[in-house]
Structure 1
């Protein structure tokens, strides 16, 4: 049986379900998620609210992280240590986030094996369905060893 990372994220993060986030693709180190165009998620200019875009991007980053480190959940808890987002231009309509892990699994697991609390980056590009870049995000994740 394979671990469905997208379903796990949606089960673990009810707010992502509230926004109707869906995962198109999750593979080692990469996740693609989308958020539909809904009037109740709009901002004052008629596109998705900045907070909704942030949540989409952070959810995609979590899936990219888990696609690589799900096997470590018995001994470590993943947490966001830091995040930064840049809004490039107003988004209109449905938006799609593509997240990519920027660390090697071996390096992060070696830190965990050494009793450390490793930190690593996941970068996310958010685009409209026509491919226009609307936001860029970097999420710094950590694996906190369970006690």
Structure 2
């Protein structure tokens, strides 16, 4: 299967070993929204029996990468997507499997227009991590860029 035929989840699992290691499940990957689940696995628990903060960070960062790939995959021939910075806030105790939902903070067309003008665009992706009962356990903002290839 070529990279063009692979789903966003398959591409990320193939190129980002940590996503595969954590067994992340890609539920939705569009230019508008990406949804990724971290199954409940004892090997990834913290001292209180829920998902470790590092696993939750990776989940959120991966969901943000999924939406970036879905929104800007057609730009990969000329630009490399890179995370610039990230901030996460843990809100409630997470237990069991958790799900990250990512959304773009700027219209994709606006970002591509900057790239077309020779500007290295930056754009935020917001991510909410929820438990099975719908409670938000963490929120993350990741700033991404599309670095033009030399």
Report the TM range for the smaller structure's normalisation: over 0.9
**C-alpha contact 1:108 1:118 (8 A) present in aligned 2:** yes
- Which one of the candidate residues 94, 101, 104 is aligned to 1:98? 101
How many corresponding residue pairs? 147
Structure 1 segments of 4+ aligned residues over 4 angstroms from their partners: none
1:15 matched residue in structure 2: 18
What's the secondary structure of 2:94's corresponding residue?
Answer: coil
Give the C-alpha shift of residue 110 in structure 1. Answer: 1.1
Give the C-alpha shift of residue 107 in structure 1. Answer: 1.0
- Which one of the candidate residues 118, 123, 126 is aligned to 1:120? 123
1:60 matched to 2:71: no
CA distance in structure 1 between the partners assigned to 2:5 and 2:125 by the alignment: 23
CA RMSD of aligned residues (A): 1.1
1:142 matched residue in structure 2: 145
* Gaps in structure 2 of 5+ consecutive residues: none
2:46 matched residue in structure 1: 43
- Which one of the candidate residues 4, 8, 13 is aligned to 2:7? 4
**C-alpha contact 1:29 1:65 (8 A) present in aligned 2:** no
What's the secondary structure of 1:46's corresponding residue?
Answer: coil
* Gaps in structure 1 of 5+ consecutive residues: none
Give the C-alpha shift of residue 29 in structure 1. Answer: 2.3
What's the secondary structure of 2:65's corresponding residue?
Answer: helix
1:82 matched residue in structure 2: 85
